[in-house]
């Protein structure tokens, strides 16, 4: 049975949190060469490289991220021991790091994280960004899963995997019409102004194709790449707004907005993108393996 050297683990923990061998050596009052030897001994002991050395940068490998999570737990446990003996409360939690596309529906994100929200043993870290930055973080093991409304591009060598979570209809929503008239799609778009997602959106492109086939060029009030902002504008502006109903679920339930019509053959897909790992975060099963 292999026994872990906790001095080596402490040195690794310091380097991982400092992100620099130089800063960690200064903090630990060691030479860089001595600290490097200690890290190498730990890597030999656990049987995996813990850092990728790219120039002067140290980037955690998958095993390194797992080791850091456990090291955080180990040294947090020491703090908890002292807290317990001092009569203070302790907190033991697992961590799930989620990257979410900036433009993604907040309601969808909340639905995805629902099984973990409110659990006292779970800490959720949610980071927003564009898809390129989020996938880079996923590759670097800085997040455990990326939520997006388009699949990650894959090839035969890719270690990424796309999980299709849901497929939602896309609708035109707006304030209730004072005269009670039913919305006639697509003809009413010849006169009714519309709020649209930006051209970066798959649903916008699909919607434009539908209108092009119908020979309609609508009056566009605004093009917005943030679903949260599109939701606010739908509540405040006249005209109709192109959104998946989940985005304005609360407004539809309250009657502030109504669903005028669903757009035929236009849907939005929601994906969870993960990286194939030898040591997957166990919390992922709670949000991915649901009926």
Write a three-state SS string for the chain.
CCCCCHHHHHHHHHHHHHCCHHHHHHHHCCCHHHHHHHHHHHHHHHCCCCEEEECCEEEECHHHHHHHHHHHHHHHHHHHHHHHHCCCCCCCCEEEEEEEECCCCHHHHHHHHCCCCCCCCEEEEEEEECHHHHHHHHHCCCCCEEEECCCCCCCCCCCEEEEEEEEEEEEEEECCCCCCCCCCCCHHHHCCCEEEECCCCHHHHHHHHHHHHHCCCCCEEEEECCHHHHHHHHHHCCCEEEECHHHHHHHHHHCCCEEEEEEEEEEEEEEEEEECCCCCCCCHHHHHCCC
- CATH code for position 24: 1.10.10.10
Which of 85, 111, 143 is the last residue in one of the domains?
A: 85
Q: Which pLDDT belongs to residue 92?
A: 61
Shared domain check, 160 and 174: no
In a domain, 1, yes or no: no
**C-alpha span between 177 and 188 (Å, rounded):** 13
Shared domain check, 180 and 224: yes
Q: How confident is the model at residue 264 (pLDDT cuts 50, 70, 90)?
A: confident
| 101 neighbors 148 (Cβ within 8 angstroms) | yes
Shared domain check, 241 and 100: no
Phi and psi angles of residue 220, each rounded to the nearest 5 degrees, phi first: -95, 120
Shared domain check, 34 and 77: yes
**C-alpha span between 211 and 208 (Å, rounded):** 5
69-101 residues labelled b (16+ CB within 10 A) or e (exposed): eebeeeeeeeebeeeeeeeeeeeeeeebbbbbb
pLDDT of 81 > 80? The answer is: no
**Mean pLDDT value of segment 65-73:** 84
Owner of token pair 């947090």? 76
pLDDT of 2 > 70? The answer is: no
| Full domain range(s) for residue 234 | 168-266
Shared domain check, 188 and 261: yes
pLDDT in tens, 187-227: 999 999 999 998 888 889 999 999 999 999 999 999 988 88
User: Which residues is 130 bridged to in the sheet?
Assistant: none
Shared domain check, 190 and 144: no
In a domain, 133, yes or no: yes
Give the residue among 96, 136, 135, 100 at the shortest CA–CA distance from 270.
100
**Mean pLDDT value of segment 224-232:** 87
Shared domain check, 209 and 80: no
Phi and psi angles of residue 24, each rounded to the nearest 5 degrees, phi first: -65, -40
How many C-beta atoms lie closer than 10 Å to residue 58's C-beta? 19
- CATH code for position 230: 3.40.190.290
Q: How confident is the model at residue 80 (pLDDT cuts 50, 70, 90)?
A: low
Question: Which residues lie closer than 8 Å to 92 by C-beta, 6 or more apart?
Answer: 76, 80, 121
pLDDT of 276 > 50? The answer is: yes
Give the residue among 139, 137, 135 at the shortest CA–CA distance from 152.
135
Split into its structural domains, the chain has a count of: 3
In a domain, 192, yes or no: yes
**C-alpha span between 202 and 10 (Å, rounded):** 47
Shared domain check, 204 and 146: no
Shared domain check, 50 and 29: yes
In a domain, 215, yes or no: yes
**Mean pLDDT value of segment 20-29:** 87
Shared domain check, 161 and 102: yes
């Amino acid at each position: 049975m292999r026994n872990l050297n906790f001095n080596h683990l402490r040195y690794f923990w310091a380097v991982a949190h400092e992100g620099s061998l130089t800063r960690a050596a200064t903090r630990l009052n060691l030479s860089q060469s001595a600290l490097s030897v200690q890290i190498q001994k730990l890597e030999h002991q656990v049987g995996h490289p813990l850092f990728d050395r790219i120039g002067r940068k140290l980037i955690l490998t998958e095993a390194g991220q797992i080791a850091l999570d456990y090291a955080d737990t180990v040294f947090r446990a020491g703090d908890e021991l002292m807290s317990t003996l001092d009569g203070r409360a302790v907190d033991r939690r697992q961590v799930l790091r989620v990257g979410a596309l900036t433009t993604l529906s907040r309601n969808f994100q909340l639905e995805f994280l629902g099984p973990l929200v409110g659990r006292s043993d779970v800490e959720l870290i949610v980071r927003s960004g564009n898809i390129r930055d989020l996938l880079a973080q996923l590759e670097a093991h800085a997040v455990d899963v990326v939520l997006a409304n388009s699949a990650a591009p894959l090839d035969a060598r890719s270690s990424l995997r796309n999980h299709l979570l849901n497929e939602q209809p896309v609708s035109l929503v707006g304030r209730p019409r004072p005269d009670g008239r039913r919305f006639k799609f697509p003809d009413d778009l010849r006169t009714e102004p519309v709020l649209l997602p930006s051209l970066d959106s798959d649903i916008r492109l699909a919607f434009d194709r539908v209108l092009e086939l119908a020979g309609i060029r609508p009056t566009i009030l605004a093009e917005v790449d943030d679903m949260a902002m599109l939701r606010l504008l739908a509540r405040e502006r006249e005209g109709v707004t192109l959104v998946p109903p989940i985005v304005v679920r609360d407004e539809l339930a309250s009657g502030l907005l109504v669903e005028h019509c669903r757009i035929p053959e236009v849907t939005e897909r929601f994906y969870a993108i993960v990286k194939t790992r030898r040591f997957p975060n166990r919390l992922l099963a709670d949000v991915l393996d649901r009926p």
